[in-house]
DNA sequence: AGTATCAACCGCCACC
DNA sequence: CCGGTGGCGGTTGATA
């Protein structure tokens, strides 16, 4: 659960002077009315900072939307959200737009996220010194996507488990042999250092940070606010088969949406075909053509994915998860898990308990 | 472990 | 003729 920070905050005053429109768009209102350490509605605010290097990718900013949404759901600024560069001022993203930033604060940050990008050149040694200095002070530090490389270069990931975008995992490992790279995970936490894969995995990481602060109920509300179909756990593979389920036609998309929303129903090919307004035969054919999966297999993958998430959360008994995911009975779910993961649901629960929250 | 049943899948063909 | 669609029937695999 959330532990209030006792640290002073000298950077909030900077925010009122240098926080520009870009900063406000990311959720940090220039006239933010709360200050960490002071109560509002019985809650204490926390500072979330994102460091962006020159040439950062826009997806680095996406993780901030989680904390912005949390503020929106809560109805007040529980999180003070800031974007930083080494010395403040404008920084240019990989795709041409600029963001107004503040200089990195000292001894004040509760959580620091590090963004990255393909176009990012060498970061300065001052930054690495800063990260090494802040690591024991900040409650948690996270490398989002290629930001993992910055943490590795600063030596923060030595003998720690870490992940990054799958296509750069090999490079990360060869450049930094001391890092225990797990290139297929969505996100990993190892002793308060978090790392994630690229793109939307940063959002999943941010949701996990939020859950640590405020509990699962707020996370569910924020996920709904962000119109996320389902949350993904860190242990899930970046190359999850679910990511392949991106059909081109409206009709197959309708059927998939129907399946996601009605996972508890039997979901036969016939019922999915009806949702897609196609004959079962044509639906089957089209579905396989567009997703590379047969309808029954895709439904099973959806069920397993949701079941894995619920199992990892550990809040529901297996029998309730069986019902929620439409498996019908424990034996069917156990067999489906064994087919997909080679392990039983209980083994997955034990495994995720170790690897996600370790 | 063996068996019956049924849904899913897929090749083929016909129709529009 | 071609592409999209639907029906039929055999095979396969999961389940009871």
Distance CA A75, CA A131 (A): 32
Residue A287 · residue A241 · CB < 8 Å = no
Q: Band of the pLDDT at A313, cuts 50, 70, 90?
A: low
R_g of chain A computed on alpha carbons: 22
Neighbours of A294 (CB within 10 A): 13
Q: Does at least one atom of strand C sit less than 7 Å from the CB of A332?
A: yes
Q: How far is the CA of A282 from the C1' of C4 (A)?
A: 9
> Which residues lie near nucleic chain B, judged by CB under 7 A?
A 268-270, 281, 284, 288, 294-297
Nucleotide nearest to A327 (CA to C1'): C15
CA distance A180 to A170: 11
Name which residue leads in pLDDT, A157 or A228: A157
- List all residues 6 or more positions away from A49 whose beta carbon is below 8 Å from its beta carbon: A81, A82, A83, A84, A104, A105, A109, A111, A112, A113
pLDDT at A12: 27
Give the pair of three-digit tokens for residue A182: 């797990």
Question: If you measure CA to C1', which residue is closest to nucleotide C15?
Answer: A332
A207 C-beta less than 7 Å away from strand C: no
Nearest residue to A220 via CA among A235, A206, A207: A207
Nucleotide B11 C1' to residue A326 CA (A): 31
Q: Is the CB of A315 under 7 A from strand C?
A: no
pLDDT, tens only, A81-121: 999 999 999 998 888 889 999 999 987 889 999 998 887 77
The gap between A256 CA and B15 C1' (Å) is 29
Strand C closer than 7 Å to the CB of A285? yes
Q: Which nt sits closest to A332, CA to C1'? A: C15
Residues 6+ apart with CB under 8 A from A300: A336, A339, A340
Bases along strand B below 7 A from a protein CB: 7-12
Residue A39 has what pLDDT?
34
| Most confident segment among A117-121, A134-138, A184-188 | A134-138
Residue A23 in this model has a pLDDT that exceeds 60: no
A337, A343 contact by CB (below 8 A)? yes
Percent of chain A, pLDDT > 70? 78
CB A162 within 8 A of CB A116: no
- Using left for φ > 0, alpha for ψ between -120 and 50, and beta otherwise, residue A42 falls in left
| Residue with the two structure tokens 């999943």 | A204
pLDDT tier, A235 (very low <50, low <70, confident <90, very high otherwise): low
Task: Write the CB contacts of A62 (distance below 8 Å, at least 6 apart in sequence).
Answer: A199, A200, A202, A203
Euclidean distance between CA atoms A314 and A81, whole angstroms: 30
The pLDDT value given to residue A268: 86
Indicate the pTM of the whole model.
Answer: 0.62
DSSP-derived 3-state class of residue A270: helix
List, for residues A272-292, the tens digit of each pLDDT value.
888 888 888 888 888 888 888
Looking at residue A241, what DSSP letter applies? G
- CB A132 within 7 Å, strand C: no
Give A31's contacts (C-beta < 8 A, 6+ positions apart): A16
pLDDT at A111: 94
Please name the nucleotide lying closest to A285, CA to C1'.
Answer: B10
Find, among A161, A111, A114, the residue nearest to A140 by Cα: A111
Strand nucleotide closest to residue A278 (CA to C1') = C5
Residue A187: beta bridge partners? A196
Nearest nucleotide to the CA of A299, by C1', is B8
- Banded model confidence at residue A148, pLDDT cuts 50, 70, 90: very high
Q: How far is the CA of A277 from the C1' of C3 (A)?
A: 19
- Between CA A220 and CA A175 the distance in angstroms is 38
> Residue A20: is its pLDDT beyond 70?
no
* Residue with token string 């090999």: A170
DSSP string, A94-151: TTS-EEEEEEPPSS--SEEEE---TT--PPPHHHHHHHHHHTTTSSEEEE-TTHHHHH
Closest nucleotide (C1' vs CA) to A282 is C5
Residue A182: C-alpha distances to residues A189, A234, A349, A351 (Å):
11, 11, 19, 15
Q: Which nucleotides of C are covered by protein (CB under 7 A)?
A: 5-9, 14-16
Closest nt to residue A284, judged CA to C1': B9
Find tokens 């002793």 and name the residue: A191
CA of A254 to C1' of B9 (A): 21
Which nucleotide lies at the shortest CA–C1' distance from A281? C6
Predicted pLDDT at A4: 33
Residue A258: closest CA among A295, A219, A226: A295
**Average pLDDT of chain A?**
78
Distance of CA A260 to the CA centre of its chain: 20
């Amino acid at each position: 659960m959330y532990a209030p920070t006792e640290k002073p905050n000298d950077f909030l005053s900077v925010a009122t002077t240098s926080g520009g429109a870009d900063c406000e768009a990311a959720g940090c209102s220039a006239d933010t009315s709360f200050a960490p350490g002071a109560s509002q509605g019985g809650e204490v605010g926390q500072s979330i900072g994102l460091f962006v290097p020159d040439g950062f990718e826009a997806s680095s900013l996406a993780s901030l939307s989680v904390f912005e949404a949390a503020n929106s759901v809560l109805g007040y600024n529980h999180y003070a959200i800031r974007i930083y560069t080494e010395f403040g001022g404008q920084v240019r993203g990989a795709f041409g737009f600029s963001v107004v930033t503040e200089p990195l604060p000292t001894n004040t940050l509760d959580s620091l996220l590090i963004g990255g990008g393909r176009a990012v050149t060498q970061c300065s040694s001052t930054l690495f010194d800063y990260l090494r200095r802040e690591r024991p002070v900040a409650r948690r530090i996270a490398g989002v996507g290629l930001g993992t490389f910055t943490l590795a270069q600063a030596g923060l990931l030595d003998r720690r488990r870490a992940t990054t975008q799958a296509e750069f995992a090999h490079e990360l490992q060869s450049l930094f042999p001391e890092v225990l790279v797990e290139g297929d995970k969505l996100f990993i936490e190892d002793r308060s250092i978090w790392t994630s894969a690229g793109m939307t995995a940063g959002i999943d990481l941010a949701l996990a940070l939020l859950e640590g602060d405020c509990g699962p109920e707020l996370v569910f509300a924020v996920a709904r606010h962000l119109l996320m179909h389902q949350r993904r756990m860190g242990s899930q593979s970046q190359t999850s088969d679910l990511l392949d389920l991106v059909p081109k036609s409206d009709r197959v998309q309708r059927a998939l949406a129907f399946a996601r929303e009605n996972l508890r129903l039997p979901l036969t090919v016939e019922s999915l075909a009806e949702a897609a307004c196609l004959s079962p035969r044509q639906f089957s054919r089209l579905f396989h053509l567009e997703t590379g999966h047969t309808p029954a297999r895709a439904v099973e993958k959806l069920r397993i994915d949701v079941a894995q998430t619920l199992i990892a959360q550990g809040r529901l008994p297996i029998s309730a998860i069986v019902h929620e995911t439409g498996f019908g009975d424990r034996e069917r779910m156990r067999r489906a898990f064994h087919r997909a993961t080679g392990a039983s649901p209980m083994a997955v629960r034990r495994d995720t308990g170790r690897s996600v929250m370790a």
